[in-house]
Amino acid sequence: MTTPALLPLSGRRIPTLSPGASSFPHHRATLRLSEKFILLLILSAFITLCFGAFFFLPDNSKHNVIGVYYHYQSPLLSCTSQGAISAHIFPVHDQESLRDKIRADHERALQEAKEKLRKSKEELKAEIQTEKTKVVEDLKKKDGPKPLPPVPMPKLVGVKDGDPGDPDTKEKRDKIREMMKHAWDSYRQYGWGHNELKPIAKKGHSTNIFGNSQMGATIVDALDTLYIMGLHDEFKDGQEWIKQNLDFSVNAEVSVFEVNIRFIGGLLAAYYLSGQEVFKVKAVQLAEKLLPAFNTPTGIPWAMVNLKSGVGRNWGWASAGSSILAEFGTLHMEFVHLTYLTGNPVMHIRKLLAKMDRPNGLYPNYLNPRTGRWGQHHTSVGGLGDSFYEYLLKAWLMSDKTDTEARKTYDDAIEAIERHLIRKSNGGLTFIGEWKNGHLERKMGHLTCFAGGMFALGADGSPDDKAGHYLQLGAEIAHTCHESYDRTVLKLGPEAFKFDSGLEAVAVRQNEKYYILRPEVIETYWYMWRFTHDPKYRQWGWEAAQAIDKYCRVSGGFSGVKDVYSSNPTYDDVQQSFFLAETLKYLYLLFSSDELLPLENWVFNTEAHPLPVLHLGNITLPGSETQR
């Protein structure tokens, strides 16, 4: 058989032969010169390819390849000629040194590449950080808080001292001051920056009203109490924390009501008392974060809002997705002051409520922010309703008694409350029950005990010369609430108490027997003292202070107790921020002279933060048609 000729490597077609002619030459004994050249070229390419591939093999494979190479019998070359060519091109004794050199060069090049990459990353990171810093600074300049308009500071009277003069009273006041310092120092040591303190566990604590974010609620809530008590070093520590750390851009869903009364109220009070601008600026920044909560069809705000996204919603347990009367009705005081300081009007809720029908003249606790309709017909002067009525009266007082719309709304509400909710027990105790679907529940909550002070505060200016009547009503509520304390083992009041089945001013359910350092009873004692100077109110207040110090004080602060009827109570392990903001402040004021924060010049918000009376002249309060 004849052997086919090799195709040209150029890839060109073979010329077409004439039909019938053979494709192969005949009678050839030797290769032509050109064919020898082509064969040699192919051989050279093959050898080059083999040695080139050798350098790309792993090291352990190269040993095997070398061994195989020298024993491989090429079909084109003899063993002798192949070994001679290999030995000539790649001697055996140079294999190891060449491989080491290649490896060393490779490792050196790799290290150099890594070093260049590291430097490049560091330079890029530094460049990015520089650009980021520049962008942030530019945004601050462009979108940062605008300077607030200059406004005259309201007349501030009685912000210092308040020495009672009497040595015995002064000694009691000093004791209250010491209790405040113990509560603050414990928080400073164990819970600094957290919202509240767990005094038994000695660590920070938070609740869902702050979205479990750590916003330093105790710091903000306690500032004005520290200032009033003359604890200025502690006040400066709190001020510095607020300046450096208080941030409202957190992704946290917070209670609009609680953040308003504790944070905005606390910051505004600290500003008015100290004159430090940082508090005013922070209050305005926070208020802007709360405003998206008002984006509802009726303008009635959601109960909760996400500070970062602005998304609002209501509590899942509230009747038919309703907002809570005490929550949306307890924004007026703080936002009126923000209007005064910024010039920006705020949503006012009274207009809507004035248009709505009220069952028996009472305000139900639930209102749907979408439809503007009442939810469940449940009316209470305690939880869910309390501070709505309080703020009607205090709006009038804060306006220097010019907001007559607020006063009229308050008077009408109190008249309905007297007619439907206030009763006397068989033992002669005056109490305020709760109206539920046409039925009066003969139960009164600790929160309701604030009403004694409210009645006394609103006595002056009452219609039909009823000032004496309401001052007496306040005294009767104060007496009932004192009885709720006096009828317990610890001399501290329960969360709620009944007036039926032969029981009066006593808690029945186990889940109503706790005391969580609440201030409402002591608040009423203070108001009654200011308006009557009856010494029993100071005596009752001192009894409460001693009981708190005896049963609630622990090494890490002050804790609530779970059963005021037990001689060996267990702790709830929470030092509430309102204990420093309200309970201790009211006790301190109770044992101070009337010159400290006189009620003619100051109005306390529902978290006991004092705000000055505004003599507004011709300024229009939000939502009011009356020119001031």
Could you please report the per-residue DSSP string of 567-614? SSPPB---B-HHIIIIIHHHHHHHTS-TTSS-TTTEEE-TTS-EEEPP
Is 627's pLDDT higher than 90?
A: no
Query: Is there a catalytic annotation at residue 411?
Result: no
Is 208's pLDDT higher than 90?
A: no
Pick the catalytic residue: 390, 520, 563, 582?
520
Alpha carbon distance 153, 159 (integer Å): 14
CB distance 558 to 488 below 8 Å: no
How sure is the predictor about 280, in pLDDT bands with cuts at 50, 70 and 90? very high
Is 91's pLDDT higher than 60?
A: no
CB distance 160 to 561 below 8 Å: no
Minimum mean pLDDT among 69-78, 274-283, 367-376, 471-480: which range?
Answer: 69-78
φ, ψ (nearest 5 deg) of residue 503: -105, 140
Q: What is the pLDDT of residue 129?
A: 59
Q: Residue 387: what residue type? A: S
Q: What is the pLDDT of residue 9?
A: 34
Minimum mean pLDDT among 14-23, 148-157, 410-419, 495-504: which range?
Answer: 14-23
Alpha helices in 311-365 (DSSP H): 325-328, 332-342, 350-355
Q: What is the pLDDT of residue 166?
A: 95
* Tens of pLDDT, residues 516-533: 999 999 999 999 999 999
How sure is the predictor about 63, in pLDDT bands with cuts at 50, 70 and 90? very low
How sure is the predictor about 429, in pLDDT bands with cuts at 50, 70 and 90? very high
What's the rounded mean pLDDT across residues 37-54? 69
Alpha carbon distance 37, 32 (integer Å): 9
What's the rounded mean pLDDT across residues 549-568? 98
Q: What is the pLDDT of residue 24?
A: 38
What's the rounded mean pLDDT across residues 115-126? 68
Q: Please give the sequence-ordered ranges of beta strands (E in DSSP) within 374-452, or none if there are none.
A: 378-379, 422-424, 430-432, 434-436, 439-441, 443-445
CB distance 5 to 17 below 8 Å: no
Is 505's pLDDT higher than 60?
A: yes
The percentage of the chain sitting over the pLDDT mark of 70, rounded to a whole number, equals 79
Alpha carbon distance 157, 570 (integer Å): 43
Q: What is the pLDDT of residue 413?
A: 97
What's the rounded mean pLDDT across residues 142-155? 66
Residues annotated in a binding site for Ca(2+): 606
Is 619's pLDDT higher than 80?
A: no
What's the rounded mean pLDDT across residues 367-389? 95
Q: What is the pLDDT of residue 241?
A: 98
Q: What is the pLDDT of residue 148?
A: 67
What's the rounded mean pLDDT across residues 218-245? 98
Alpha carbon distance 58, 99 (integer Å): 11
Q: What is the pLDDT of residue 423?
A: 97
How sure is the predictor about 98, in pLDDT bands with cuts at 50, 70 and 90? confident
Q: What is the pLDDT of residue 544?
A: 98
CB distance 492 to 547 below 8 Å: yes
What's the rounded mean pLDDT across residues 231-254? 96
Pick the catalytic residue: 221, 224, 234, 258?
258
Q: What is the pLDDT of residue 130?
A: 63
Q: What is the pLDDT of residue 352?
A: 87
What is the separation, in whole angstroms, between the first and last Cα of the chain?
124
pTM of the model: 0.77
Is 35's pLDDT higher than 70?
A: no
Pick the catalytic residue: 196, 386, 411, 572?
386
Q: What is the pLDDT of residue 601?
A: 95
Is 626's pLDDT higher than 90?
A: no
Residues annotated in a binding site: 606
Pick the catalytic residue: 495, 523, 573, 582?
495
- What lies within 8 Å, CB to CB, of 344 at 6+ separation is 338
What's the rounded mean pLDDT across residues 124-131? 60
Q: What is the pLDDT of residue 27?
A: 41
- What lies within 8 Å, CB to CB, of 341 at 6+ separation is 148, 151, 280, 283, 284
Element (H, E) at 141: helix 95-143
Query: Is there a catalytic annotation at residue 327?
Result: no
Q: What is the pLDDT of residue 61?
A: 47
Alpha carbon distance 392, 329 (integer Å): 8
Structure tokens at 162: 């308040």
Q: Which of 74-83, 137-146, 339-348, 452-461 has the highest mean pLDDT?
A: 452-461
User: 279 by DSSP, 3-state: which?
Assistant: helix
Structure tokens at 524: 């009423």
Task: Please give the angle made by the CA atoms of 141, 145 and 149, to the nearest 5 degrees.
Answer: 120
Is 411's pLDDT higher than 80?
A: yes
> What does pLDDT average to over the chain?
84
What's the rounded mean pLDDT across residues 295-317? 95
What per-residue string of b and e applies to 48-62 under the rule 16 or more CB within 10 Å gives b?
A: eeeeeeeeeeeeeee
Query: Is there a catalytic annotation at residue 258?
Result: yes
How sure is the predictor about 172, in pLDDT bands with cuts at 50, 70 and 90? very high
Query: Is there a catalytic annotation at residue 495?
Result: yes
Closest CA to 540 of 486, 496, 595: 486
Is 55's pLDDT higher than 80?
A: no
Structure tokens at 436: 């539920």
Q: What is the pLDDT of residue 146?
A: 61
Minimum mean pLDDT among 104-108, 145-149, 259-263: which range?
Answer: 145-149
What's the rounded mean pLDDT across residues 286-291? 95
- How many residues are there in the chain? 628
Is 21's pLDDT higher than 60?
A: no
How sure is the predictor about 101, in pLDDT bands with cuts at 50, 70 and 90? confident
Distances 409 to 95, 414, 434, 564 between C-alpha atoms, Å: 104, 9, 20, 38
Q: What is the pLDDT of residue 328?
A: 94
CB distance 624 to 405 below 8 Å: yes
How sure is the predictor about 95, in pLDDT bands with cuts at 50, 70 and 90? low
Alpha carbon distance 458, 412 (integer Å): 13
Q: What is the pLDDT of residue 156?
A: 85
- What lies within 8 Å, CB to CB, of 268 at 6+ separation is 279, 280, 283, 334, 337, 338, 609, 611
What per-residue string of b and e applies to 610-620 under the rule 16 or more CB within 10 Å gives b?
A: bbbbbebeeee
The percentage of the chain sitting over the pLDDT mark of 90, rounded to a whole number, equals 66
Please give the DSSP secondary-structure letter assigned to residue 450. G
Is 96's pLDDT higher than 80?
A: no
Is 586's pLDDT higher than 90?
A: yes
Distances 424 to 398, 432, 472, 476 between C-alpha atoms, Å: 33, 9, 14, 10
